[in-house]
Structure 1
Amino acid sequence: MTHSPRPGTTLQRLTIVCDPAHGSQPWRFVREAGVDPARTLEGRPVEEAAGLAPRIFNLCGAAHGYAAARALGFAAVADAPAMARESVRDHALAIFHTWPGLLGGAPDRDALRALSQPGPEGAAALRRALVGARLPDRDFGNLSCAALGAWLCAGETATARILSRLRREVDPAEGRAGLPELTTVDLARALESAAPDDAPLALRETGALSRMAGTPLFAALIAAEGPSLFVRLLARLADLLALLEAPPQAAPTASAPTRDAPEGLGFADAARGLLGHGARVDGGRVSRYRILSPSAWNLAPGGLLERAIAALDPSGAQAQLLAHFLVSAINPCVPVRLDVTGALRHA
């Protein structure tokens, strides 16, 4: 069962309940909606709205600030280093904190401390913590599948050991799901639509795998096994490494918000995928404002997360673990609560 947010609201929390006894649809998705914070920008002068947007949406404030400025008609220049730092932090917290915890391990506190170390030294420390010293210092996405396999088998880092374990123990069919990549054309069409804000979106996905899919390594993996859980987790690692390998004063092309948008729209590549702001301005004030975050697509009813979760065996011994890893792989920006024990089955 799914419920879309009401007009003027946005998704605040998603609860996923598993009931294996429920036949062909054992997974239930319960959406809790709240007031859409984009509404707080309406009625304000454009200068005030542009300054307020990155503070309201501070999880990826630099990306939101750029998209808002462009949507409101300002000739903004993207703060690429700040946006890169946002993405690095987002991926690193998942890889060094969330993933070890899911397998009963401790966070890598040394690696997490390296997040606060500026410049090339911090980037080098993070790279060593991620892939070790043996992997050639080159684009991870250009590795061959054989080189990837050798790195996994060597298990030089905690990240390699986590991914190696999942590679060995998880059937690629578990959680495998994919949708067409979200494009700026899709985003512009949705933001400019006269349909109600709660009208269903086209089914698309956006995120790290979308950015990495065209590289040799990921093209080969997707051809061999599709967008599996392992491939999606590996894409977060590869996306982080691409950010760390960029010049100190610029984010890599894959994450730099250089897309041109029509008047009244602003696009940015945020940590979780393609972000869009849409604004209508009358008399110097914002009369309508809409934001479509990556999670608006990835968590949509019938969308990527629902399809990936539905591809898990609910009766399997690892269903809870794999569901948590899937949430991390898809990386929503709203809280997701998982119940695979039945405690919320009748909620």
Structure 2
Amino acid sequence: MAVSASDTGALSATLAQAMPVAKLVLGKPVEEVVTLIPRVFNLCRGAQEAAAKLAFGLPLDSDVRQRLAQDFIRDHLVRLGLLLPRHFGLPTLPVAQGVVGVLPPQMPETEADFSLYLRQTEGVAPMLRALDAAFQSGEAVADLPYIDDLRVVQANACENSVAARHGTHPVMQHIAETRGRGPLWRVFARMLDLAACSRGEVPAPKRLDDGWVVVPASRGAYAMRACVREGIVTQFERITPTDHMMAAGGIMAQSLASLPAASRHLATLLVDVLDPCSPVTLHGGAKGGGIANA
């Protein structure tokens, strides 16, 4: 994911021009489209493949959830162990060791556990502590309703993220109450998701009404809908976590709006925490761009 920045006034973010997905698939045979979609959107290849198969009425592999878990583990390890520590000048973590190289043997389950963990020197704890110090309470936060079966098929602002899968966890609730739904809340959610995926705990893909299907992804949940006539794709729709994030009043807009001018040097770090799946350009206040590779 490329991030660039320019100083033009109020801080905002825009996405690169979206790929015309419908034009790529309409009029093509189903088998070709099912192969094409995960190749085009290879950042989340497993989720895209599962969504395409389900949307076209094809059977899912029996191990689909295990394969999704492995994709999510890879993405979470890269962000927690490589990308985010670099923002603070911290050593990268041994992600080749898997979850044990990043997470503690037992994830914090209470406020007291979390306070103790923040003082540790192993794994992701130093990065988490630096993140907590970088953003003050109420900075870079977004308070939106969690994704549900109604919101997931509408490209409007909502909390479609990994955090939505873990919002009821006691530590998540503690962070939300003491810091807000900001970077620390989101990164701890990614830790929880990594731990869950290591146990094979991934939400099941499902069918909704009106032809929509929903598949979990490392950034949240994807919705897809398609129509077929005589083996040819005649309609195709796709709504991603980034669509919800970048919607008017969405996670990105609220997070940037609640980032004080004195903290705007943290804007590229914030974008790396939010993790949109497409290139983002920051406008206003964020001096000097950065590059993060998702």
Task: Choose which of 251, 271, 274 in structure 2 pairs with 1:330.
Answer: 274
Instruction: Tell me the alpha carbon deviations over residues 76-105 of structure 1, each in whole angstroms, 9 at most, x when there is no partner.
Output: 246112111111111111111111211123
Query: Equivalences for 1:72-91 in 2 at 5 Å?
Result: 72-77=56-61, 79-91=64-76
Q: Determine what percentage of the aligned residue pairs are the same residue.
A: 24
Query: Equivalences for 1:86-235 in 2 at 5 Å?
Result: 86-108=71-93, 111-114=94-97, 122=98, 126-127=99-100, 129-132=101-104, 137-138=105-106, 140=107, 143-157=109-123, 159-188=124-153, 190=154, 201-235=155-189
Gap change, CA 1:18 and 1:91, over 3 Å in 2:
farther
Question: Which entry has the higher C-alpha Rg, 1 or 2?
Answer: 1
Letter of the aligned partner of 1:163 in structure 2? L
Kindly report the root-mean-square deviation, in angstroms, between the aligned alpha carbons of the 2 structures. 2.4
Displacement after TM superposition at 1:177 (Å): 1.5
Q: Which residue in the other structure is 1:117 paired with?
A: none
CA contact (8 A) 1:72 1:264 kept: no
Gap change, CA 1:310 and 1:15, over 3 Å in 2:
farther
Query: Equivalences for 1:308-319 in 2 at 5 Å?
Result: 308-314=255-261, 316=262, 318-319=263-264
Gap change, CA 1:131 and 1:264, over 3 Å in 2:
closer
Letter of the aligned partner of 1:166 in structure 2? L
Give the secondary-structure state (helix, strand or coil) at the position aligned to 1:329: helix
Gap runs ≥5 in structure 2: 290-294
Aligned residues: 286
Q: Which residue in the other structure is 1:39 paired with?
A: 23
Structure 2 CA distance for aligned equivalents of residues 278 and 83 of structure 1: 20
Give the secondary-structure state (helix, strand or coil) at the position aligned to 1:107: coil
Structure 2 CA distance for aligned equivalents of residues 238 and 290 of structure 1: 30
Instruction: Tell me the alpha carbon deviations over residues 172-222 of structure 1, each in whole angstroms, 9 at most, x when there is no partner.
Output: 22101121112222234x3xxxxxxxxxx3211211111110112212322
Q: Which residue in the other structure is 1:341 paired with?
A: 287
Gap change, CA 1:242 and 1:234, over 3 Å in 2:
same
Structure 2 CA distance for aligned equivalents of residues 168 and 291 of structure 1: 38
CA contact (8 A) 2:55 2:212 kept: yes
Give the secondary-structure state (helix, strand or coil) at the position aligned to 1:105: coil
Gap runs ≥5 in structure 1: 1-11, 115-121, 191-200
CA contact (8 A) 1:92 1:112 kept: yes
Structure 2 CA distance for aligned equivalents of residues 186 and 324 of structure 1: 28
CA contact (8 A) 1:16 1:28 kept: no
Structure 2 CA distance for aligned equivalents of residues 29 and 92 of structure 1: 26
CA contact (8 A) 1:14 1:29 kept: no
Query: TM-score, structure 2 length as denominator?
Result: 0.87
Give the secondary-structure state (helix, strand or coil) at the position aligned to 1:308: helix
Gap change, CA 1:203 and 1:299, over 3 Å in 2:
same
Name which structure has the greater RCO, CA cutoff 8 Å, separation 6+: 2
Letter of the aligned partner of 1:58 in structure 2? N
